């Protein structure tokens, strides 16, 4: 079966780094937050105790920020500067467009059985939301995390009481990010009927042509009209690779759901 | 009678046997009083011995609380000064204690209480929960001065140097304004005592709740929709007024 390429190897690499760093940050962050509970202590023991957990959280956070800067450079390098503004506002761009509002309304209408399904192009509105939510999240979490990285130095430039405020912002934004990724992103990406048990597009890079015609008809038609479809057709990955992708993906999903469920069950202990 | 003749400059002193016996007896009697008390310090662990010999040398502070003082400390005039503090009728007792050399003076049954029994919220700070720091490591030994007393190490003018810097080397007066015992951002009183924290917290909570209020129903209904046939249509028009007749005719 032929596939149409949605993500380049570099983009998949970015997602892989983001995924791994996010999972580590989630585990170490929850371990720190819940260290007063039995579950939190078990988590910190996994990382070699509370001080090591804090160290890992800080270093992986720096790695995450470094990858984000590389991503920004990648964006700037891949923009077609001569074709502005059309090049960053076209259907291949993740910049939100007015059409996205109409498509989201039509999609909700389709969910409720009021109208037919919308005709998506390469990026649907929820995918753009996910991308910009991560963008905003890294800016906020990275910014507050960087200030909290060394509070003694930071307090030379900002008042010490601001650290109280920044820590709460960091916590709530991290909780929001984890809950959104573990509940909504995983469900849409892997657990809904059409993608169950796992959507491998972010590992393989391609999506089945027939599935693309069904889910994103405007994209496939546009490629056919431009005569560019043949250029983006790729072969499906081998069976062994697909097995590895499944095992890896399930491990991440199950691990993250374990964190989410335990965080929820132990939340009352945080209140004391 | 045998006499002991001492060398110069005590040559003129002469001790009889009786004097020697009495001297030895007195020394033994005094030893009987004081030596066991000195030995017993290891068992009783007076706060001075514990602090000097163990905690400060090892850096390992014990979990139990400070013993109550054995003497009445110097007390600054406990009457609040009108020009320094504004007293609310209900907060008067608490507020003026912040200015005392011994902030716990006069409390009944103080020697039978622990810090946490009267200050349970303060034991939930990040310093206590995560770093396992005991009250005494920051607030010092008895008598514990009020934070606003001019000699207190916890006074904001010197806290950063005498308290914070023990662990956070290089801390500054700005750093010392970090609220270790921060008020709960959920509480309405925080709106007055720490408004920036209160509003930042609720802004983030509204942002999070708003995100989930939009996306959780959207995602769940989408998941359910995919179990319905692709041709599924909710025939609202059938239930609209004026359409019933047509439907019936059909």
Predicted pLDDT at B44 = 38
Q: Is the peptide bond before B143 cis (omega within 30 degrees of 0)?
A: yes
Helix (H, G, I), strand (E, B) or coil at A4: strand
Paired tokens of A191:
């657990």
Does B173 share its domain with B219? Answer: no
The answer for residues whose C-beta is within 8 angstroms of residue A158's C-beta and 6 or more apart is A147, B174
Express as a percent the part of chain B with pLDDT over 90: 26
pLDDT at B99: 81
DSSP H or E segment with residue B4: strand B4-5
The CA R_g of chain A, rounded to the nearest whole Å, is 21
Other Cβ atoms less than 10 A from the Cβ of A202: the count is 17
Block mean pLDDT (10 aa), chain A, length 272: 90 96 97 92 93 95 97 94 85 92 94 91 94 95 97 95 96 96 94 90 92 92 91 90 94 96 91 59
Task: pLDDT band for B134, please (50, 70, 90 cuts).
Answer: confident
Residues B103 and B200 in one domain: no
Q: Are residues B17 and B93 in the same domain?
A: no
Residues B112 and B153 in one domain: yes
Provide the β-strand partners of residue B14: B5
Distance from CA of A83 to the nearest CA of B (A): 35
Identify whether the C-beta of residue B21 lies closer than 8 Å to the C-beta of residue B6. no
pLDDT at B94 over 60: no
How far, in Å, are B47, B142, B151, B159 from residue B139 at the CA level?
A: 14, 9, 12, 10
In a shared domain, residues B29 and B139: no
Quick one: B176 and B65 in the same domain?
A: yes
CB burial string A223-239: b at 16+ within 10 A, e below: beeeeebeeeeeeebee
pLDDT in tens, B142-201: 888 888 888 888 988 889 999 999 999 999 999 999 999 999 999 999 999 999 999 999
- Assess contact for B172 and A154: CB atoms under 8 A: no
Least confident of A197-206, A240-249, B35-44, B92-101: B35-44
pLDDT the model gives residue A175: 96
Task: Please say if the pLDDT value at position B68 is more than 90.
Answer: no
Residue B81 above 80 pLDDT?
no
Confirm whether B187 is domain-assigned: no
Residue B123, pLDDT score: 84
DSSP 8-state assignment for residue A48:
T
Measured CA to CA, the distance from residue A62 to residue A74 in angstroms comes to 18
CA distance A162 to A152: 12
Instruction: Pull the structure tokens for residue A246.
Output: 């499944």
The pLDDT score that the predictor gives to residue A150 is 95
Predicted confidence band of residue B60 (pLDDT cuts 50, 70, 90): low
* Mean pLDDT, chain B, integer: 74
- Cα separation, A85 vs A189, whole angstroms: 31
CA of B95: how far to CAs of B36, B89, B92, B176, B211, in Å? 44, 10, 5, 21, 43
Res. B221: pLDDT tops 60: yes
Is residue B66 one of the residues assigned to a domain?
yes
- Domain annotation covers residue B50: no
Instruction: Work out the pLDDT band at B30, boundaries 50, 70, 90.
Output: confident
**Residue A151 contacts B where some CB pair is shorter than 8 Å:** yes
CB-closest option in A110, A175, A187 to B219: A187
* Token duo for residue A214: 């069904």
Rg of chain B over Cα atoms, rounded to whole angstroms, equals: 36
Residues B128 and B220 grouped into a single domain: no
Spatial distance between the Cα atoms of B145 and B163, rounded to a whole number of angstroms: 14
Residues of chain B positioned with their CB less than 8 A from the CB of A111: 218, 221-222, 225
Q: Which two tokens stand for residue B201?
A: 């917290």
Average pLDDT of the residues in B116-130: 86
Q: What residue has token string 């509002």?
A: A101
- The predicted pLDDT at position B97 comes to 78
Q: Give the best residue of B177, B190, B205 to mutate against chain A (max A CB count within 10 A).
A: B177
Instruction: Give Cα A189 distance to the centre of its chain.
Output: 11
- Tell me the C-alpha distance between B242 and B248, whole Å: 11
CATH superfamily of A2-270: Transmembrane di-heme cytochromes, Chain C (1.20.950.20)
B169 and B118 fall within a common domain = yes
| Residue of A36, A155, A175 lying closest to B208 (CB–CB) | A175
Query: Rounded to an integer, what distance in angstroms lies between the CA atom of residue A188 and that of residue A194?
Result: 9
State the alpha helices, DSSP H only, in B53-176: 56-58, 92-97, 115-118, 126-129, 135-139, 159-162
CB contact (8 A) between residue B182 and residue A194: no
For chain A, give every domain's residue range.
2-270
What total of structural domains would you count in chain B? 3
Is the pLDDT higher at B163 or at B29? B163
Please indicate, yes or no, if residue B86 is contained in any of the structural domains. Answer: yes
Structural domain containing residue B27 = 1-44
- The count of C-alpha atoms lying within 13 angstroms of the C-alpha of B8, restricted to the half-sphere facing its C-beta, is 0
Q: Hey, are the CB atoms on B182 and A164 less than 8 Å from each other?
A: yes
B188 found inside a domain: no
Whether residues B26 and B110 share a domain: the answer is no
Residue B217's contacts (CB-CB under 8 Å, 6 or more residues apart) are none
pLDDT band at B133 (very low <50, low <70, confident <90, very high): confident
Q: Do A165 and B197 touch (CB under 8 A)?
A: yes
Q: Are A34 and A43 in contact (CB under 8 A)?
A: yes
Q: What is the mean pLDDT of the segment spanning B212-227?
A: 94
Assess whether pLDDT exceeds 50 at residue B41: no
Confidence of residue B45 (pLDDT cuts 50, 70, 90): very low
- For residues B77 and B130, membership in a common domain is answered with yes
- Contact by Cβ (8 Å): B140, B166: no
**Can you tell me which residue has the tokens 């469920």?**
A261
Query: Is some CB atom of chain B closer than 8 A to the CB atom of A187?
Result: yes
A268 — contact with chain B (CB < 8 Å)?
no
pLDDT, mean of residues B93-114: 76
Q: Which residues contact A240 (CB under 8 A, 6 or more apart)?
A: none
């Amino acid at each position: 079966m032929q596939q149409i390429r949605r993500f380049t190897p570099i983009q998949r690499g970015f997602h892989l780094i983001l995924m791994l760093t996010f999972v580590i940050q989630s585990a170490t962050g929850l371990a720190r937050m819940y260290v007063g509970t039995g579950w939190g202590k078990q988590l910190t023991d996994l990382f070699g105790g509370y001080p090591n957990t804090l160290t890992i959280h800080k270093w992986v956070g720096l790695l995450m920020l470094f990858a984000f800067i590389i991503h920004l450079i990648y964006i700037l390098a891949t923009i077609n500067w001569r074709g502005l503004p059309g090049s960053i506002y076209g259907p291949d761009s993740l910049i939100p467009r007015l059409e996205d509002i109409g498509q989201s309304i039509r999609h909700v209408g389709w969910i409720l059985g009021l109208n037919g399904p919308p005709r998506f192009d390469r990026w649907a509105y929820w995918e753009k939301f996910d991308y910009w939510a991560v963008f905003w999240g890294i800016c906020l979490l990275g910014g507050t995390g960087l200030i909290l990285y060394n509070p003694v130095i930071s307090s030379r430039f900002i008042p010490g009481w601001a650290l109280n405020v920044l820590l709460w912002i960091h916590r709530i934004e991290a909780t929001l990010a984890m809950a959104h990724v573990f509940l909504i992103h995983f469900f849409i990406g892997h657990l809904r009927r059409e993608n169950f048990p796992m959507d491998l597009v972010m590992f393989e890079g391609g999506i089945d042509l027939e599935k693309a015609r069904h889910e994103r008809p405007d994209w496939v038609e546009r490629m056919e009209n431009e005569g560019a479809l043949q250029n983006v057709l790729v072969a499906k990955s081998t069976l062994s690779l697909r097995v590895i992708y499944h095992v890896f993906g399930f491990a991440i999903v199950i691990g993250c759901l374990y964190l989410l469920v335990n965080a929820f069950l132990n939340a009352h202990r945080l209140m004391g | 009678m045998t006499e002991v003749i001492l060398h110069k400059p005590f040559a003129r002193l002469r001790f009889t046997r009786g004097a020697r016996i009495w001297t030895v007896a007195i020394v033994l009697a005094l030893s009987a009083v004081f030596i066991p008390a000195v030995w017993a310090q290891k068992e009783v662990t007076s706060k001075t011995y514990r602090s000097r010999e163990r905690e400060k040398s090892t850096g390992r502070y014990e979990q139990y609380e400070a013993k109550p003082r054995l003497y009445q400390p110097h007390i600054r005039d406990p009457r609040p000064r009108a020009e320094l503090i504004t007293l609310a009728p209900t907060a008067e007792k608490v507020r003026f204690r912040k200015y005392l050399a011994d902030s716990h003076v006069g409390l009944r049954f103080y020697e039978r209480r622990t810090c946490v029994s009267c200050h349970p919220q303060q034991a939930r700070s990040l310093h206590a929960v995560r770093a396992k720091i005991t009250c005494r490591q920051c607030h010092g030994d008895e008598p514990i001065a009020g934070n606003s007393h001019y000699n207190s190490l916890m006074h904001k003018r010197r806290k950063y140097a005498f308290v914070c810097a023990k662990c956070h080397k290089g801390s500054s007066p700005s750093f010392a304004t970090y609220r270790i015992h921060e008020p709960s951002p959920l509480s309405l009183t925080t709106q007055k005592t720490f408004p920036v924290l209160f509003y930042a917290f609720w802004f983030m909570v509204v942002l999070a709740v708003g995100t989930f209020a939009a996306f959780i129903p959207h995602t769940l209904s989408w998941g359910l929709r995919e179990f319905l046939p692709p041709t599924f249509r909710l025939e609202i028009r059938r239930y609209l007024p004026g359409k019933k007749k047509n439907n019936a005719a059909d």
